[in-house]
Every structure is written in C-alpha cells, then in structure tokens.
Structure 1
Amino acid sequence: MMTKIILDCDPGHDDALAMMMAIASPKIDLAAVTTSAGNQTPDKTLNNAMRMLTLMKHEEIPVAGGNHTPLVKPLETAGNVHGKSGLDGAELPDPDFKPQNMTAIELMAKTIQESNEKVTLVVTGPMTNAAIFLRVYPELTNKIERIVFMGGAMGLGNWTPSVEFNIFVDPEAAKIVLNAGIPLTMAPLNVTHKAQILKDEIKKVDEINNPVAHAFYGLLNFFEIYHEAPKWGFKGAPLHDPCTLAWLIDPSMFESKLMNVDVETQGELTTGETVCDYYELTGKPQNTDVLLGIDRPKFIKLIMDSLRTFD
C-alpha cells in the first residue's frame, strides 16, 4: 500500500535528494510539494523545488510557496552550506511550469480535503508552514496520519551547541507541531550524522547513466565540501532529509525509541533545543518516535536504486 505524502521542504541539497526518493519509490505517492524559507530565502527554495521537479519530469505535482519568515524571529538561512542558489553544484533546468495560485497551507488543506485516505506530512525544513496549517485548519488534523520530520538533536547541535538548524530557524513553530497531538517521527542529528554518503559512493552516483544521477553527483560533491571541516569528524556528507523518506519506505533500516520531545523557546543559550525525555523523567506523553540508529549500507543502496529509476 502506498503512503500519500505532502513534502514540505526548503531545497537545499538533502531536501532535493528526499524529493527524488519520494518520486522514485513505488511505496510513496507524492501528492504535493510546499516550500518554506530556511536553507535559502523563500523565492529560492520555491524555485529550487520546481527546478528539481522539472529535472525529474514530474511537473504534474502541485507546488506552492509558504510563509516568507518564521513565526516570531527574523529569518536566518544556510547559504554557507547550500550555496548562493541553495542548490549549488549542478546545472539545473529552469522551471517549465508555474506554482499553484495559492499558499502552501492552502495547498496542504486542498490536498488533505480531497484525499480519500489520511495524508502523511513530511517536513524537511523549518516547521513554519506546518504550524500555521495546524492553527488555521484544526478541523483537518484528524486526516493527518503522521508528521515525519528532519530536525532536532538529542545532545549536540549543528547550528548552536545543542540546537539543530531546522528547529533553530523557527522554534515556536516546532513547539506548536510537537504539541499538536499528532503521531510524530523525528529524524534528529543523532541518526542523520550516521547517514553519511562517502566520497567513493558519490563517485558511483556519476556512474549511473541518467541526467538526474549526473545532477546529484554535482550537488553531492558541492554539499560534501562544507562537511570536510575537521571539527565535524565526518568521513563524507550527512544526508539529513533523506532519512525521513527512507524511514517511510523501509523503517526496518532504523533503530528508534518512543519518547516525549518538546522544544525550548525561552533559553538564553538553548532556544530551539529539542528536549528529549529518553529516561521518562517528566511523565509527559511519549509523543515522538525518535530515530537513533541506521543501517547505513542499506540506506545508501536505497538512494542508488532510487537514482537508477530515472531515464
């Protein structure tokens, strides 16, 4: 049975790879793509989503842009990681179709209202759109099967000492989503930093003879450069966002633990920290299935097999 999803993303190299996996998988029905501001500015992330869909020849998938700023704080982007365009490293086609004449949350609502089955919301950027959707359309929350998101960390952060970038950008939105009472699956840095693609594996991407794989070879080469800084201790590039799709396609490749997760929004040093109650100290409901381990070879094989499906 296929899982119908809406992908809310901020492309971004790893968002683009997650989108590719969603399109390639026979287990996923990608019903809509919405974009948020995060890895780059809102105009660039919307354009990047459409460039990727044009490259993959799936212009039939509806796309809409979302909120231009976080709920409370000013927007901060990650151009130092993803480059000036947000998808530096490859020559991508200009979009040959138009976005929907509606906002991201309106497209979410339309897609969910018209669906005969529950829809899974996959969030690979800041949670601004998801939070606004839940506030504006509370009557539709019972038609959301689950929210699967890349974000957060149990311990070490990648933007401030204990805070991951997606949650850092809009902690107030993340707090709304995490406390909405909807089943949650979280792919934190604890698992995504294990989901690395190594340099020799990136070279093998270019051996897959289709335009989509060749584009991702360039994208992954660029993305890997940032992660060569010795402070990270990486052997390759961590593929954060694809962990969400990999879990939906084959959850058996992950180890996880159900726990309560909430978001700090007031801390002087910790605003945006995901507070994970691993030892059940708070007595709060276990609202989130937190991914902690991954079968990396199986994960890389899934990515390679997905890339091979394109002409």
Structure 2
Amino acid sequence: MKKQSLIIDCDPGVDDALGLFLAFGSPGLELLAVTTVGGNVPGDITARNARIMRQLAGREDVPVHAGADRPLVREPVAAAEFHGEGGIGDMTPFEPRVGNAPGPAAQAIVDLVMARPAGSVALAIMGPMTNLALAMRLEPKLAAHLGPVSVMGGARSEGGNITASAEFNIYADPDAAAEVFASDCDITVFGLDVTHQVRVSEDRIVAIEVLGGESARTAGELLRFSQRVEREIVGWDAGPLHDPCTVAWLLDRDLFGLKPCRIEVETVSDLTRGHTAVEFRVDAATARHHWAVSVDAGGVFARINASLERLP
C-alpha cells in the first residue's frame, strides 16, 4: 500500500498533540515535516511543544519548522485557558534534544510540496491557516499543486467556541482562512459540527492509559487535563477532541460523512469575525470544499490507540 505523504501544520495545544501522536504512529503516512504556528499559545512555545511530542514518540527523523508567530494583519489571540499556559496541560515542559529545522514553515511547505508530483502531498492544518496563506504568497502555483488539505476549523450548526459564531482557529486569523478558502486548494473541513461528536469519555481515556509507553501516558495526562478544563469551563464531562480528525480522515476516509460546499470567511465585521459561511447549494462535481457532518468516533479513537501502541 502506498503511503500518503503528509505535512502537519499545528499549534500544540492538547488536541494537536494527540493528532501528532496519531500521525507519528501511523505506518500508512510518510510524514515529511511538522510546521508550527502561533495559535493556542505563542509560536515559540508551539514549536517547542511539537518537538517535545516528536521526542516522546521517537520520531526525531521528522523535521519541525517554526512558522508565523502572529496572524497576517491582526493582533494575536490565544487559548491558554483550554491548553495550559505552556500549551500542554499539566505537563512540565522541557527543551527537546533536537531543535527546529532551518527555514520558516511557509518556505518548507513550498519546498516539500513543489518537489513532489502534483497532488501527492497532503496538508493537515490543526491551527490558524497563516502558514499556508504565506506559502501561497511565496509560490502562486502551490494551491493547485497541493494534494488534499484537511482543516480543523469553523462551525455552522454548532455555533462557535470563542464567539457566538466563530471557531477559534478561524477567528485567530480570519484573513488567512479567507485567502486559503478562495484559492484552488481542495479542502476538507472538520468543524465543530463534527468534532463535537468525537467525545473524550472516561472509558476512552482509560483505554489509552492502560496501553503503557511514554507516548500513551502523555496522551492520557493531556486528556485528563482537557477533561477537567472542559468540565470547569463548559460543564461537559466528556469534551470534544478536534484536531486528530484531520489525520484520521487521511488514514480512513470512511470514518467521516462529508457534504460538498463552498466556504467563505467573515473578515470585516467585528461581531462575526471568523464566521464560516458554509453554502451547500453547489455543484457537487466541481466543489473544492467539503464539510464533515458525521463521524465514527469509535473508529477515530481506535486509530489513535493503534498509533499509541506502536510508539515508545
């Protein structure tokens, strides 16, 4: 079976860390690089956190490129209340053995994608879309050359998680998201409508904790932190797990139900900044956007657990 070449763009972040572990332990993926962006916490911290997870997973063969530390035109926002001041819950951060790879994330994305056949490199975006927007500015042919782009972001029927109508990743840099959705990229979007169906229940945490290994232990600690925070802030006993959906879909398309659509992002109004307008009245044959509406949540966790079993 041919491996899917993949770049992960992320802002770890508790759920980003689970998405990284899923990718690090999946033999069906050729993980070309991890690129990081300021989002859940500032950019220098997200790069460090990605390298921490890489080291714990024993995947120091995968380069980590630090990227944009602020949105294209706006002041940064963060979500430390949901991820901890260091972005990794209650974990004590440390400086990993291997540093960042040379060169910024945007240039790394351009170089890796353009060096391979058109359509062969997938990009999973787990944070604000700043790095991809910058990469497309560097190389106008990039969007048409990219393979599938899977994005965690946006909301429709579920409403927002940072404002009444906006999901955090899109709200953090709506201008970048607007550029990406207006491009020639083929984008599959995992918004709150579907990620709210992937719940971190007690039995799912226990199933990870009993796996053994440093990666599984870390994943369990992160999910325990997230469970506590979601209960305190939102009142949920089983909070949603967002970012791993982007990787799970690349591994198994049958896990998700999708609808073709056209997505545009609000960039003018302060009230509805980052709102994703999802229009389903499109020609399915030519639609470049697809919106996830359903998920086999058990299948997503089965993939995560299988990856964690393979990792140290």
Superposition TM-score, scaled by structure 1 size: 0.94
| C-alpha displacement of 1:231 | 4.5
Q: Which residue of 1 aligns with 2:188?
A: 185
SS of structure 1 residue aligned to 2:239: strand
Deviations 1:45-98 (A, max 9, x none): 010001111111111111111111101110000010000110023346531112
2:38–2:69 Cα contact (<8 Å) kept: yes
The CA distance in 2 between the partners of 1:310 and 1:64, in whole Å, is 22
Q: Following superposition of structure 1 onto structure 2, how do residues 1-311 of structure 1 map, counting pairs within 5 Å?
A: 1-91=2-92, 94-116=95-117, 118-155=120-157, 156-229=159-232, 231=234, 234-280=236-282, 286-311=287-312
Question: Residues 175-223 of structure 1: CA distance to partner in whole angstroms, max 9, x if unpaired?
Answer: 0000101111000000001011202221221111111101111111011
Residues 144 and 184 of structure 2 are in contact (CA less than 8 Å); yes or no, is this contact kept in structure 1? Answer: no
Q: Residue 279 of structure 1: CA displacement?
A: 4.0
- SS of 2:112's partner is helix
For 2:57 and 2:94, locate their aligned partners in 1 and report how far apart those are by CA, in whole Å. Answer: 10
Conservation of the 8 A alpha-carbon contact between 1:196 and 1:235: no
Q: Conserved in 2, the CA contact under 8 Å of 1:261 and 1:287?
A: no
Question: For residues 101-156 of structure 1, what are the alpha-carbon distances to aligned partners after superposition, in whole Å with 9 as ceiling and x for unaligned?
Answer: 21111111221233356211111000011101111111333320121100001130
Which SS does the other structure have where 2:147 is aligned?
A: strand
Letter in 2 for 1:179: A
Shift of 1:286: 2.9
Q: Does the CA contact (< 8 Å) of 2:227 and 2:237 recur in 1? A: no
Gaps of 5+ in 1: none
Question: Is the partner of 2:110 in helix, strand or coil?
Answer: helix
Distance in 1 between residues matched to 2:73 and 2:115, nearest whole Å: 31
Q: What code does the residue aligned with 2:175 have?
A: E
Cα 1:266–1:170 change in 2 (3 A) is same
Query: In the alignment, residue 55 of structure 2 is paired with which amino acid?
Result: T
Q: Give, as a single letter, the amino acid of the residue that structure 2 aligns with 1:204.
A: A
State the distance in 2 between where 1:288 and 1:307 align: 31
Q: Is the 8 A contact 1:89 1:220 kept in 2?
A: no
C-alpha distance in 2 between matches for 1:57 and 1:183 = 32
Deviates more, 1:185-194 or 1:219-228: 219-228
In 2: Cα distance, 1:114 partner to 1:96 partner: 29
User: Which amino acid in 2 is paired with 1:227?
Assistant: E
129-138 vs 83-92, greater mean Cα deviation: 83-92
Deviation at 1:275, TM superposition (A): 0.2
Paired AA for residue 49 in structure 2:
N
Structure-1 separation of matches of 2:193 and 2:166:
12
Greater Cα offset, 169-178 or 56-65: 56-65
Instruction: Determine the C-alpha separation between the residues in 1 that align with 2:90 and 2:221.
Output: 5
Mapped partners of 1:125, 1:61: distance in 2: 19
Q: What is the alpha-carbon distance in structure 2 between the residues aligned to residue 119 and residue 308 of structure 1?
A: 26
- On the 8 A contact 1:90/1:216 being kept in 2, the answer is no
Shift in Å, 1:269: 1.5
With over 3 angstroms needed to count, the CA separation of the structure-2 counterparts of 1:45 and 1:231, relative to structure 1, is: closer
